[in-house]
Amino acid sequence: LQEALAEGEGAEEAPPLVGEEKADVCIVGGGYTGLWTALALKEQEPALDVTIVERDIGGGGPSGRNGGFVMTWWSKFTTLQKICGTEEAVRLARLAQQAVVDIGEFCDENGIDAHYRRDGWLWMATSPAQIDAWEETFAAVSAAGQTPYERVSPEFVAERSGSPMHLAGIWEAGAASVQPAYLARGLRRVALERGVQIHEQTPMTRLVRGRPPRVETERGSVTAEKVILAMNAWVGSLPEYRRSLVTITSDIVATPPAPERLDAIGWRDGISLSDSRRLVNYYRRTIDGRVIFGKGGGTLAFAGRIPASFDRESRRWREVTNHLHRLYPMLWDLEPTISWRGPIDYSLTGAPFFTKLGGRPDLLVGAGYSGNGVGPSYVGGRILASLALERDDQWSAAGLVGDPRGALPPEPLRFAGGLVVRESHARKERAEDAGRRPSWLATKLSKLDPTSFIDRGLTKNGAAALRSWRSKSNVGDE
């Protein structure tokens, strides 16, 4: 985001709201979801008055500081199947796959240089226990007659990732990567050009659920026919969603540019790389040759409230850097110089939801991307726009339309339970990295976690691979 702002990307004015305004649609949140929704609304109804209120600046939330992976929903296929059946899961995953293409085309057509590179995604194992973690998903996707993934050899995985610490994986050619803030600020520019009103530095302080509803802000209000809450993890502050989301930071470090060193290990393009642990490691090379290395599962939010510390530099800088150096021992002396973090809105299924707040068609909500929102927010924007326009089409009929599923226990139980589960994941993964069998307790407790970034689970093959690796390496249990 600093890079994009320094280069003047999105320098157009979007002043705070002062006074009372009216709009056809008021969107709360100026990230990808809010912006794609506004653009879809204007595309379908150019005369519509659309206003966005954003507490920070457009893209000031995770949309401007994520890892930049533009992924599909194939990695959530078994989850989608459970939610809405195989046929709809295929349809949704194909829509998300097409979204990756459409985002690239939108950037081209609108002069957004978001460093879009469609160089694919490797879903990998970085410890023997993770081998074949993708197998259940791969089998389900194949059984549905779809072929987004390709089986690849361990040599291919090591070569494309640039390090033999990557033991196995599958390849999805259809994924892309972007510089996230250039995308967010570019969408903001195009939205402004198309007549969307944007008020930055304008937090909604209260949603008045009258008819019509009103969004109150510090120095004004917007009364609108429809209100759309595109607030990501902040939606957890509403009583309806407090028990539907687990909000936890994801933390990223970035190294200075070192293009020659990355070239030398064969890490040359914009490929998205991630492993199969629950506290996922995800990384990519930027256009100027930096390593961006992120890790999920950081600090938990209490009662859906997001503290200011979630917007600052990472407290896990050293831990995240250690993972980078473990996976790339040849880069041991390449030290990150910057870090950041942001909230992830894990739903209890791992898939997002798009719903009517209190069943009201004039109050809409979309959240719960669970760490995979860069590509899917394009689909989310189309769904929310169709719901707002009360269209009966392929978007409003999506199987993800409906209230979030499941409910977590109330606080402080939820927070305490979350800390225990996160610690169990960390212990289990430390043991697996060292080739030890994790303790029975850590394994059991980690299984209590209902959330996930990708479909997951230690398969029989993964367990067998771990056993065989342990016997060869002569290491014991935790």
Q: Which is nearer to ligand FAD, 313 or 433 (CB)?
A: 313
Of 1, 32, 133, 456, which one interacts with ligand FAD (CB under 6 A)? 32
Measured over all CA atoms, what is the biggest interatomic distance in the chain, rounded to whole angstroms? 71
Neighbouring CB atoms inside 10 A of 476's CB total: 10
Pick the stretch among 104-112, 131-139, 356-364, 372-380 that binds ligand FAD (CB under 6 A).
Answer: 372-380
Least separation in angstroms between CB 225 and ligand FAD: 19
Pick the stretch among 23-31, 151-159, 238-246, 258-266 that binds ligand FAD (CB under 6 A).
Answer: 23-31
Token pair, residue 270, equals 């914009």
Of 10, 61, 213, 304, which one interacts with ligand FAD (CB under 6 A)? 61
Least separation in angstroms between CB 373 and ligand FAD: 2
Q: Which is nearer to ligand FAD, 231 or 408 (CB)?
A: 231
User: Element (H or E) spanning 285, and its range?
Assistant: strand 281-285
Of 1, 9, 25, 29, which one interacts with ligand FAD (CB under 6 A)? 29
Cα separation, 349 vs 368, whole angstroms:
9
Cα separation, 263 vs 294, whole angstroms:
21
Least separation in angstroms between CB 33 and ligand FAD: 3
Our finding on whether 452 is near ligand FAD (CB under 6 A) is no
Q: Which is nearer to ligand FAD, 103 or 141 (CB)?
A: 103
Q: Which is nearer to ligand FAD, 34 or 162 (CB)?
A: 34
Our finding on whether 369 is near ligand FAD (CB under 6 A) is yes
Pick the stretch among 8-16, 28-36, 41-49, 153-161 that binds ligand FAD (CB under 6 A).
Answer: 28-36
Residues 6+ away with beta carbon under 8 Å from 49: 22, 23, 24, 25, 197
User: Element (H or E) spanning 78, and its range?
Assistant: helix 77-109
Residue type, 240: E
- C-alpha distances (whole Å) from 374 to each of 64, 176, 211, 217 are 10, 10, 33, 27
Pick the stretch among 19-27, 65-73, 187-195, 410-418 that binds ligand FAD (CB under 6 A).
Answer: 65-73
> Which residues on neighbouring strands pair with residue 420, listed in sequence order?
none
Cα separation, 451 vs 407, whole angstroms:
12
By CB under 6 A, what part of segment 251-310 binds ligand FAD? 252, 282, 294
Token pair, residue 453, equals 């970034």
Of 30, 148, 418, 438, which one interacts with ligand FAD (CB under 6 A)? 30
Of 4, 191, 344, 445, which one interacts with ligand FAD (CB under 6 A)? 344
Cα separation, 30 vs 377, whole angstroms:
12
Least separation in angstroms between CB 80 and ligand FAD: 16
Q: Nearest to residue 36, comparing CAs of 55, 57, 58?
A: 58
Cα separation, 268 vs 43, whole angstroms:
37
Least separation in angstroms between CB 476 and ligand FAD: 36
Least separation in angstroms between CB 346 and ligand FAD: 10
Cα end-to-end distance, the chain, whole Å: 42
Neighbouring CB atoms inside 10 A of 327's CB total: 21
Pick the stretch among 26-34, 111-119, 123-131, 382-390 that binds ligand FAD (CB under 6 A).
Answer: 26-34
Of 10, 31, 418, 438, which one interacts with ligand FAD (CB under 6 A)? 31
Least separation in angstroms between CB 459 and ligand FAD: 24
- C-alpha distances (whole Å) from 129 to each of 97, 155, 401, 477 are 29, 18, 35, 13
Binding-residue pattern over the window 86 to 115 for ligand FAD, x denoting contact by CB under 6 A: ------------------------------
Q: Which is nearer to ligand FAD, 192 or 230 (CB)?
A: 230
Cα separation, 472 vs 469, whole angstroms:
5
Q: Report which DSSP code applies to 237.
A: G
By CB under 6 A, what part of segment 373-432 binds ligand FAD? 373-375, 377
Q: What are the φ and ψ backbone dihedral angles of 193, each rounded to 5 degrees?
A: -60, -30
Cα separation, 30 vs 32, whole angstroms:
7
Pick the stretch among 32-40, 114-122, 167-175, 317-325 that binds ligand FAD (CB under 6 A).
Answer: 32-40
Least separation in angstroms between CB 153 and ligand FAD: 26
Residues lying near ligand FAD in the complex (CB under 6 A) are found at 28-34, 53-56, 60-63, 66-69, 71, 203-204, 230-232, 234, 250, 252, 282, 294, 341-344, 369, 371-375, 377
